[in-house]
Structure 1
Amino acid sequence: MKYSYVPPVEAEHIRQLPTRDVALLLLQHLASGTGYLQYAGTMGAARQAFQEEPDTDALVNHLSDAWCWLEAHALLAREPSQSEAFRRISRDGMDLAKDPQGITRFEARERLSGPLHPALEGTVRTNFHLGDYETACFAAMKAVEVAVRDASGLDNSLVGVHLMRAAFQPHRNGKGGPLADAGAEGGEQEAVANLLAGAMGAFKNPSSHRTVDFEDPIEAAEIIQFADLLLRQVERAKRRQAAATA
């Protein structure tokens, strides 16, 4: 008697889709079952299901890559009550399995998985993980504004765009903003001033005056990454100041 095995992921999907997408399909399959999970058992079942395919080994290898992707991203975890061979779907994995659209939130968190500038590690990261993207983005740009004011020594009456313009005003006739790079070409100085001013105008000022709906968590993550880049530009300007003073 010949048995028919149901594959954890369709062969054509494994052939055509990137590892991440195959992994998400595998996660859906694993979440639909009961009991603990075993890598060897899952791969063995896949080999049986694909035994009539011309590329059985390649299909199982790609599915193995997908399993490893799930483990690497903490969507599968070891089962503490069992031997190390057993796995369970993690809390994040279950959330993702229940809501496939949650991949957008997952990928947004992945963008911020590395270290950020210290000014962004508290309120900004916390509000982002709570899903309050408007507060997180506003706080990120406010951190840039505070850093520029502290580094430039300019008056508190200057805020937002006006502060950036004053701090990074290009040098002309021996005069310029305290954070502008006097050694850079004039157009580059102007571009940096525009970059900082544009960031304030686009991402801080609107939230200062009205509620801004950040529906896309990836966009919010990228705004925070942009703030991180700007803060590093401010740090560079501070080092220039220190070198000039020395």
Structure 2
Amino acid sequence: MPRLKEIYPTATQLCDVPLLDLSQSVLQVLGSKLQRPQDAECTQNFLSGVRDDYDQNELAALACSEAWSWLYCNGFICHHPSHDAQWMTLTRLGRKHYAQGVSLKSWIADRQLPEDMLHASLRSTALSLFRQELFDTAVFEAFKVLEVSIRQAAGLGDEFLGTKLTARAFDPKGGPLTDKMAEAGERQALMNLMSGAIGSYKNPQSHRHVGLEASEAREMIIMASHLLGIVDSRRPT
């Protein structure tokens, strides 16, 4: 059965670990101990063990209490139904993640940007990069996929790039991907939307490091996914 002391030999090392990584380690320790449904661990006993292992270091105990609380609030541990409130056990989610060795970082990324929300062509490119926290590159790849998809669907050559491509493909007066049955203002608006998305979200990523946060990248990738769906609907049958 692993102990935190084996993972983090000193209190300083333990206290310096990011919360998500420490929570992963606490889940690993609990998973090895709580193998059966009837198994439980007392919160105070666990934290007392941390104090004993780290020479009564209160900062180490506090860090582990934070990790314990994170696991509880996110549904990885819960109160054991056969014990008092201090006694906890793994939830179904906790058991699954322990058994499969799924990292909490991957779980967070899946919640931020679920695979089933995205166009299939983005799952092996932009989504993979997003999960690696390469947010600028993920957004660039998403809109590069969109640009390539527009060019292929419209049957245009490689000389059409960026906003020049979208203006030609969705030209409201006869672009190959414009909906000739739609009202003129709507056709113009869709061309503007495609051009604005490529110009605003693909081009800056190709010229410089933008420094996107996860929330910004998620919204942009979802937009690219939505626009890819529109392109698919305009492909000639």
Aligned pairs for 1:112-127 within 5 A: 112-115=113-116, 116-127=118-129
Conserved in 1, the CA contact under 8 Å of 2:79 and 2:86?
no
TM superposition shift of 1:45: 1.5
Structure 2 counterpart of 1:190:
188
Report the counterpart of residue 141 of structure 1 in structure 2.
Answer: 143
CA-to-partner distance for each residue in 1:97-134, whole Å, 9 max, x for gaps? xxxxxxxx93x642421322121011211111111011
Match of 1:77 among 95, 98, 102: 95
Does the Cα contact within 8 Å between 1:164 and 1:196 map onto a contact in 2? yes
- Give the TM-score normalised by structure 2: 0.61
Q: 1:134 to 1:40 in 2, by over 3 A?
A: same
Provide Cα deviations, 1:11-31, integer angstroms capped at 9, x if missing partner. Answer: xxxxxxxxxxxxxx9964376
Partner AA of 1:114 in structure 2: E
The 3 A distance-change label for structure 1 pair 227 and 79 is: closer
For 1:229 and 1:236, the matched residues in 2 are separated by 11
Residue of structure 2 equivalent to 1:165? 167
Residue 210 of structure 1 and its aligned partner are, at CA, apart by 1.4
Question: Contact between 1:77 and 1:90, CA under 8 Å: does it hold in 2?
Answer: no
Q: How many residues align?
A: 169
Instruction: State the distance in 2 between where 1:112 and 1:78 align.
Output: 20
Check if 1:227 corresponds to 2:227.
Answer: no
Q: Which runs of 5+ in 1 are unaligned?
A: 7-24, 48-66, 82-88, 97-104
| Letter aligned with residue 154 of structure 1 | L
- Structure 1 runs of 4+ with >2 Å offset: 25-32, 41-44, 76-81
Give yes or no for the alignment of 1:155 onto 2:173: no
Distance 1:123 1:144 in 2: 12
Partner Cα distance (1:26, 1:44) in 2: 21
**Alignment TM-score, normalising by the size of structure 1:** 0.59
Alpha carbons of 1:42 and 1:230: their partners in 2 closer, same or farther (altered >3 Å)?
farther
> Which residue, out of 33, 36, 45, partners 2:85?
45
Taking only aligned residues, the RMSD between alpha carbons, in angstroms, comes to 3.5
Q: 1:179 to 1:156 in 2, by over 3 A?
A: same
More deviation in 120-129 or 191-200? Answer: 120-129
* 1:236 lines up with 2:233 in the alignment: yes
What's the CA shift string for 1:161-216, capped at 9, x where partnerless? 11001100102xxxx100000000000001110110000111001111112111x2
- Secondary structure, aligned partner of 2:201: helix
Query: Is residue 110 from structure 1 mapped to residue 150 from structure 2 by the alignment?
Result: no
2:214 paired residue number: 217
- One-letter code of the match for 2:139? C
Q: Deviations over 1:216-240 (max 9, x none)?
A: 20111111111100000001111xx
1:168–1:189 CA contact under 8 A, matched in 2: yes
Q: Does 1:180 align with 2:220?
A: no
CA distance in 1, matches of 2:138, 2:125: 7
2:31 is aligned with 1:29: no
How many angstroms apart in 1 are the aligned matches of 2:98 and 2:227? 43
Structure 2 distance, partners of 1:206, 1:31, is 38
Superimposed CA distance per residue, residues 22-72 of structure 1 (whole angstroms, 9 cap, x where no aligned partner): xxx99643769xxxx66326973269xxxxxxxxxxxxxxxxxxx9xx957
In 2, distance between residues paired with 1:31 and 1:163? 48
